[in-house]
Copies of this chain bind each other. A is one copy, B any other.
Amino acid sequence: MPGTPTIGPAGAQGVREANLGTVLRTIRAAAPCSRAEIAAATGLTKSTVSSIVADLAARRLVREVGAPAERRVGRPGVGLALDERSIAAVGLEVNVDYLTVVAVDLLEGVLLSRHAAFDARSAGPEACAERITGLLAHTVADPLLRSRTVLGASVAVPGLVDAPSGVVTNAPNLRWTGFPLRERIAGLMARAGLPAMPLHVDNDANLGVIAEYRGGHLAGTPDLVYITGEVGVGAGILTGGALLRGSSGYTGEIGHVPLLRGGPRCGCGRRGCLEALAGVEAVLRHAVPDLMPDGPLSGAGLSRAVDAAVARAEAGDPAVRRALRRAGTWLGRGAAALVNVIDPAAVILGGYFVPLAPWLGPPCAAAVAAHSLAPDRPGRVQTSGLGLTAAARGGASALVDALDRGRLPLPERAPAPP
């Protein structure tokens, strides 16, 4: 018999948090709406709604709109909306060959977005932590974020992350193991005299699927998979609208599904993994071998080689098209394993798979259909509209999502000027 009963939504603190989240999400979806409309939509009493709205307004998360200036906060019938002027959430991504940073407001509108080639693999973890900290400090000081409270920062990493501790357990393609990234960034920020803020570290695929769920073209689809298309291939999985974390936080590692016995050597040390057959570096070594160095690619090399592969495929180069078709088929065979296990509504190809999708996508979709037992569903394989910013956007969105669940880290502040 399952041990202790889970004490669900009944605890007093839990109820308040759940209700705060319910009101915030209702306003997000239905703004402008009145307190009475929120009460009707949620089943909460009007006095509970008024108390929660007052709390949210004191933290400048909600404001009144479309009401005459002389009306007070608290008057029923006044339209409410989220106040997008007060907070910012920052997401960063470090990947094998780039750094990305995105900041969003409460409506998840992008305030700023920067992308730079960066040879993270050669730099090593300590130098990466320094670059990330520098980029974060620069972002927080940016005039575009002036007068906003920064909710926190989230860092996406291509590898296994112990999210509660912020330790990167194993990132084969960066060659990091057991690196305490969150602690290191916090230490560097303190040494530089920067104000402390909540820091999160998570897997790039996990944050990619959050970005798709909250802001992609399939936003709101509760059973969704996002596949990173980098040197590594990983999957972020949402089931029932929640991130699948598994028993130890290591889900979606399809990059190491064994597909070909005795196949090419993978970054993880094994042979024939999906990543060694359809990871972007493996794809490029087949598609544009003349542009690839003997050793590992550095910095901007990967993105230049992707551009070249796209240009040649567009020009009809049969060898490039064949290599992309072959990679797409392997990707589809790996994705089929995932589709057969978790039955998502859609699998979204992200990262460098986006520019390669015209050639790699159709064979991938065909392989998924051929190897899934469930009836074929057209449109199961899709291409991301978020490109290389997905993981960083997802990290910023995850911070906003925590607010939407009623976790309010913000102090009460004076009401916003009218």
Which residues of B have CB within 8 Å of A241? 2, 6
Which residues of B have CB within 8 Å of A337? 254, 257-258, 337, 341
Cβ-defined contact, A249 with B340, below 8 A: no
Within 8 Å of chain B (Cβ to Cβ): is A325? Answer: no
Given known pairs A1-B219, A341-B251, the reply for A43 and B257 (CB within 8 Å) is no
Q: How far is the CB of A63 from chain B (nearest CB, A)?
A: 18
Q: How far is the CB of A149 from chain B (nearest CB, A)?
A: 22
Within 8 Å of chain B (Cβ to Cβ): is A230? Answer: no
Q: Which residues of A from 236 to 267 have beta carbons under 8 Å from B?
A: 237, 239-242, 244-258, 260-261
Cβ-defined contact, A342 with B343, below 8 A: no
Within 8 Å of chain B (Cβ to Cβ): is A15? Answer: yes
Given known pairs A30-B5, A223-B246, A341-B237, the reply for A43 and B12 (CB within 8 Å) is yes
Cβ-defined contact, A169 with B250, below 8 A: no
Contact of A343 among B250, B343, B375 (CB under 8 A): B250
Cβ-defined contact, A251 with B342, below 8 A: yes
Which residues of B have CB within 8 Å of A242? 240
Within 8 Å of chain B (Cβ to Cβ): is A315? Answer: no
The 8 A CB mask of A174-205 against B (1 = contact, 0 = none) is: 00000000000000000000000000000000
Nearest residue (CB) in B for A21 is B8
Given known pairs A239-B239, A338-B341, the reply for A374 and B160 (CB within 8 Å) is yes
Cβ-defined contact, B342 with A108, below 8 A: no
Nearest residue (CB) in B for A38 is B5
Cβ-defined contact, B254 with A340, below 8 A: yes
Q: How far is the CA of A358 from the CA of B317 in the complex (A)?
A: 54
Cβ-defined contact, B258 with A333, below 8 A: yes
Which residues of B have CB within 8 Å of A246? 223, 239, 342-344
Cβ-defined contact, B6 with A9, below 8 A: no
Which residues of B have CB within 8 Å of A141? none
Number of copies: 2
Nearest residue (CB) in B for A169 is B375
Cβ-defined contact, B344 with A43, below 8 A: no
Cβ-defined contact, A220 with B3, below 8 A: yes
Q: How far is the CA of A19 from the CA of B3 in the complex (A)?
A: 18
The 8 A CB mask of A29-65 against B (1 = contact, 0 = none) is: 1100000000001111000000000000000000000
Cβ-defined contact, A8 with B18, below 8 A: yes
Within 8 Å of chain B (Cβ to Cβ): is A170? Answer: yes
Within 8 Å of chain B (Cβ to Cβ): is A214? Answer: yes
Q: How far is the CA of A333 from the CA of B272 in the complex (A)?
A: 12
Q: How far is the CA of A11 from the CA of B305 in the complex (A)?
A: 55
Q: How far is the CB of A169 from chain B (nearest CB, A)?
A: 7
Q: How far is the CB of A184 from chain B (nearest CB, A)?
A: 21
Nearest residue (CB) in B for A244 is B239
Within 8 Å of chain B (Cβ to Cβ): is A292? Answer: no
Nearest residue (CB) in B for A19 is B10
Q: How far is the CB of A178 from chain B (nearest CB, A)?
A: 10
The 8 A CB mask of A335-350 against B (1 = contact, 0 = none) is: 0111011111100000
Nearest residue (CB) in B for A255 is B373
Within 8 Å of chain B (Cβ to Cβ): is A98? Answer: no
Given known pairs A1-B219, A29-B2, A220-B1, the reply for A340 and B256 (CB within 8 Å) is yes
Can you give 17 A-B contacts (C-beta < 8 A)?
A2-B241, A5-B25, A5-B28, A5-B41, A6-B25, A170-B375, A172-B373, A237-B342, A240-B245, A250-B340, A250-B343, A250-B374, A253-B340, A253-B341, A253-B343, A260-B261, A341-B341
Q: What 10 new A-B contacts, CB under 8 Å, besides A2-B214, A5-B41, A250-B343?
A: A1-B215, A5-B22, A5-B26, A10-B43, A237-B342, A246-B343, A250-B373, A251-B342, A253-B340, A256-B340
